[in-house]
A = this chain, B = another copy of it.
């Protein structure tokens, strides 16, 4: 980790730079995959499974026994942990349901909003070495609470052609039944266009590698909504003398192990902390199975010494971290004034991994500085709001002339007529 002491205005921009993302060299590859799936459907999915994943697939769906036996293949304590996490996630997201009041904006003019679920959503769960069942919980739980009628899930099978039982168990727990064995850009294409097996959806959620990310971006241009733009994961810890350096180091490492392009930052105005945290990082790093990945991430990670709290806050808001850990005495200063962050973890007993798994907040969060303008996934992500308005006879008498005047000034006379013809009618029949 690089140490930066008292950055000045000139060095700050460079300091807060994210690691450069890989250039979009896969554009043509992904465009070809999208076109092939759009044209050939399931056949293309099978072809790519064989080509990329060396898996020969007779069917993209699960057999009844694969589905039924998932739960029995997991240890009891894992199932119980998944259940508890799902309950917390459900509690937090259920509390986001709310109805809004009707507003009388002018006497006789009543306006309101109502939420409706997005009917068809697609969840992408990456494959790879570890089964990301926590992402199933984070996406399927709010989808079901929102009331989405069709929740489609795609995930690539392992070399044995099977999906990890923890992923299936999490899906079952959330009430997701439409699970398809397909991954990569082709899975995104399948959900965007529909195939013989996989239903077409209106919005696609979930993380993935650069091919998946690019495919999501490309189908977004074609009218399918996506959860948010993606980038490497990151954490910023702001700490003072009240923190526990070993905890801070553990939090930095838990983010660093995500991938070599992850970024972890410590910001403090206590110089003594720099060395303490650095030592703890080095010591804890040695014991990690994903040491190589974490080390790579630490290459472009930083310990930053600033002059005071105010500068630390400014730096946080400029960086807009996905995860912000507040390990300082004056917590309120940061929680009150933080303007840009995905999720905030307050105090020494709140590790970021709590939010990754089980506290109840969503772990699908804006990275890459997108916390400046995007929220993490929530119940809102699975719904849209319709506005309603109802105008009475009296209301139109009150508001009609305003509409007529404005429409005329915008030279939209048919807009004006829609009011005038009604006002004439109302005056005729009092």
A375 interface residue per 8 A CB criterion:
yes
A53 interface residue per 8 A CB criterion:
no
A359 interface residue per 8 A CB criterion:
yes
Known: A96-B100, A422-B349, A425-B244. A111 touches B361 (CB 8 A): yes
Verify B92–A355 contact, CB threshold 8 A: no
Query: Complex Cα distance A344/B111, Å?
Result: 10
State the copy count for this chain: 2
Verify B390–A105 contact, CB threshold 8 A: no
Which single member of B250, B386, B411 contacts A418 (CB below 8 Å)? B250
> Which residues of the partner chain B approach A251 to less than 8 Å between Cβ atoms?
418
A7 interface residue per 8 A CB criterion:
no
Which single member of B217, B246, B346, B386 contacts A390 (CB below 8 Å)? B346
A116 interface residue per 8 A CB criterion:
yes
Centre residue among A225, A253, A353, A425 by max chain B CB count within 10 A: A353
- Nearest B residue to A280 via CB reads B421
Which single member of B109, B387, B412 contacts A342 (CB below 8 Å)? B387
A245-264 CB contact bits vs B (8 Å, 1 = yes)?
01100110110111000000
Which single member of B130, B250, B426 contacts A411 (CB below 8 Å)? B130
Give residues of chain A (225-247) contacting chain B, Cβ–Cβ below 8 Å: 225, 229, 244, 246-247
Nearest-CB distance from A249 to chain B (Å)?
9
Nearest-CB distance from A372 to chain B (Å)?
5
A385 interface residue per 8 A CB criterion:
yes
Query: Complex Cα distance A114/B343, Å?
Result: 10
Verify A288–B414 contact, CB threshold 8 A: yes
A391 interface residue per 8 A CB criterion:
yes
Query: Complex Cα distance A135/B333, Å?
Result: 38
A86-104 CB contact bits vs B (8 Å, 1 = yes)?
0110011001101011010
Query: Complex Cα distance A284/B409, Å?
Result: 20
A154 interface residue per 8 A CB criterion:
no
Query: Complex Cα distance A166/B407, Å?
Result: 12
Query: Complex Cα distance A44/B387, Å?
Result: 40
Query: Complex Cα distance A419/B349, Å?
Result: 9
A351 interface residue per 8 A CB criterion:
yes
A15 interface residue per 8 A CB criterion:
no
A269 interface residue per 8 A CB criterion:
no
Stretch at the interface among A31-39, A75-83, A300-308: A75-83
Give residues of chain A (157-206) contacting chain B, Cβ–Cβ below 8 Å: 166, 202-203
Verify B78–A91 contact, CB threshold 8 A: no
Verify B406–A78 contact, CB threshold 8 A: yes
A296 interface residue per 8 A CB criterion:
no
A207 interface residue per 8 A CB criterion:
no
Name the 4 nearest CB pairs between A and B, nearest first.
A105-B360, A88-B105, A351-B418, A81-B405
> Which residues of the partner chain B approach A87 to less than 8 Å between Cβ atoms?
105
Known: A91-B105, A250-B421, A418-B247. A166 touches B357 (CB 8 A): no
Which single member of B78, B253, B359 contacts A405 (CB below 8 Å)? B78
Q: List 18 A-B contacts (CB under 8 A).
A: A78-B409, A85-B402, A88-B105, A88-B399, A116-B339, A118-B372, A130-B410, A225-B370, A250-B414, A250-B417, A253-B418, A256-B414, A353-B412, A353-B419, A355-B387, A358-B406, A359-B399, A375-B385
